[in-house]
Amino acid sequence: MSLRDAVARFVHDGDTVVIEGFTHLISFAAGHEIIRQGRRDLTLARLTPDLIYDQMIGAGCARKLVFSWAGNPGVGSLHAFRRAVEGRGATTLEIEEYSHFGMVARLAAGAARLPFWPLRDYAGTDLPRVNPRIRSVTCPYTGETLATVPALNPDVTIVHAQRADAEGNTQIWGLVGVQREAAFAARRVIVVVEELVDETVIRSDPNRTLIPGLVVDAVVLEPWGAHPSYAQGYYDRDNAFYVAWEEISRDPVKLDRYLDDFVRGVPDRTAYLDKHHGLTARLKAKERRSAGVNYGF
């Protein structure tokens, strides 16, 4: 399925959308397609909104942001996010804030069909004061109080991965973040991959399968679809672009021009990549291949 068709069919105005991937495997391709199709009133949830949600906020797709760390890693701020939250922007943005552990636990609960997840957290912090969804429960054995967060069950989760077969049996290596939890917790799942492989490739190493096809609604082939994020073993992170975003996002006009040039102004990912000359030469991964293991009996 094409990314255009997958987004048209599975991402709707007003949805709660999770595009996960902790630094690694963030589906910028899907985020850009959502911007192109002009989705509105989305509740965007992610541990680290990163550049992709800053772009979607800047493009006016978001009504609300659910998150735990909203910065440009190692660089600075997400300025579209800051303008909206600091009331300096054209649009406002409702926020619901947790810590990383809280967001991880929310997705873990959603994936397990539990209504909440207990954690030793938040005591002494001001987060529960500003987020009434952070509550507590009493242990039926020790009587101690534990913090709780509510399950997060996205309408749609979009996962970028190294490879999957046609049925959506998906393999990921390197940082896995909360990709598995986000997929199992969602009502609909889109998997975007660097390589579409034969089922036999998946079956030759079943311990590498993170997400089974039976929870996947659409599989999309989109090489370099995570750029400027990265895919271990395929291409490096485009750190130069993350640095450049500081200046682009600081100015709404520049941000809008960026969206016109690289998102709204291109029909698809191929056209986006054509506008990045020398990308492959600059970021293609070197070879550090692992050895196989024996699954025989």
Partner 1 sequence: MATLAARELADGEVVFVGIGLPNLAANLARATHAPHLVLIYESGAVGAVPERLPVSIGDPALVTGSLMVCGMADVFQLFLQQGRIAVGFLGGAQIDRYGNINTTVIGSYTNPKVRLPGSGGAAEIAIHARRTLVMAKLDRRAFPEHVDFVTSPGQRIAGRTRRELGLSGAGPVKVFTDKAILETDEATGEMVLAALYPGVAVEEVEAGVGWPLARRPRLAAVDPPGALELRVLREVLDPEGLYLGAKGGAPST
Interface of this chain with a second copy, residues 39 to 68, rule: CB under 8 A: none
- 295 sits near a second copy (criterion: CB under 8 A): yes
- 177 sits near partner 1 (criterion: CB under 8 A): yes
* Contacting residue, 69, 173, 241, 262, with a second copy by CB under 8 A: 173
* Contacting residue, 97, 155, 246, 256, with partner 1 by CB under 8 A: 97
- 208 sits near a second copy (criterion: CB under 8 A): yes
- 74 sits near partner 1 (criterion: CB under 8 A): yes
With respect to partner 1, which residue has the nearer C-beta, 39 or 227?
Answer: 227
Long-range contacts of 55-58 (CB under 8 A, 24+ apart): 55/31, 55/80, 55/255, 55/258, 55/259, 55/263, 56/31, 57/81, 57/84, 57/91, 57/93, 58/249, 58/252, 58/255, 58/256, 58/259
* Contacting residue, 130, 139, 240, 243, with a second copy by CB under 8 A: 139
Smallest distance, a second copy to C-beta of residue 284, A: 9
Provide the β-strand partners of residue 138: 145
Measure the CA–CA gap between 214 and 67, rounded to whole angstroms: 28
Query: Residue 23: which of a second copy, partner 1, none does it interact with, CB under 5 to 8 A by kind?
Result: partner 1
- 280 sits near partner 1 (criterion: CB under 8 A): no
For the beta carbon of residue 145, count every other beta carbon within 10 angstroms: 13
* Contacting residue, 138, 175, 254, 280, with partner 1 by CB under 8 A: 175
Rounded alpha-carbon distances, angstroms, from residue 241 to 5, 168, 247: 28, 31, 10
Instruction: Name the nearest CA neighbour of 157 among 5, 272, 3, 15.
Output: 15
- 67 sits near partner 1 (criterion: CB under 8 A): yes
Per-residue binding letters, 98-127, with partner 1 (x by CB under 8 A): xxxx--xx--x--xxxx----xxxxxxxxx
Pairing of strands 170-171, 188-196: unpaired
Query: Residue 281: which of a second copy, partner 1, none does it interact with, CB under 5 to 8 A by kind?
Result: none
Using CB under 8 A as the binding rule, the residues of this chain from 217 to 276 that contact partner 1 are 230, 232, 236-237, 239, 242
- 148 sits near partner 1 (criterion: CB under 8 A): no
Please give the order of strands across the beta sheet that includes 135-138: 116-119, 145-150, 135-138
Smallest distance, a second copy to C-beta of residue 149, A: 9
Smallest distance, a second copy to C-beta of residue 220, A: 21
Measure the CA–CA gap between 52 and 238, rounded to whole angstroms: 13
Choose the binding region for partner 1 from 1-9, 77-85, 135-143, 259-267 (rule: CB under 8 A). Answer: 77-85
Choose the binding region for a second copy from 59-67, 82-90, 142-150, 183-191 (rule: CB under 8 A). Answer: 142-150
Measure the CA–CA gap between 78 and 71, rounded to whole angstroms: 5
Q: Is 79 helix (H, G, I), strand (E, B) or coil?
A: helix
Q: Is 117 helix (H, G, I), strand (E, B) or coil?
A: strand
Instruction: Name the nearest CA neighbour of 182 among 162, 213, 209, 155.
Output: 155
* Contacting residue, 8, 146, 221, 266, with a second copy by CB under 8 A: 146
- 215 sits near partner 1 (criterion: CB under 8 A): yes
Choose the binding region for partner 1 from 8-16, 28-36, 52-60, 82-90 (rule: CB under 8 A). Answer: 82-90
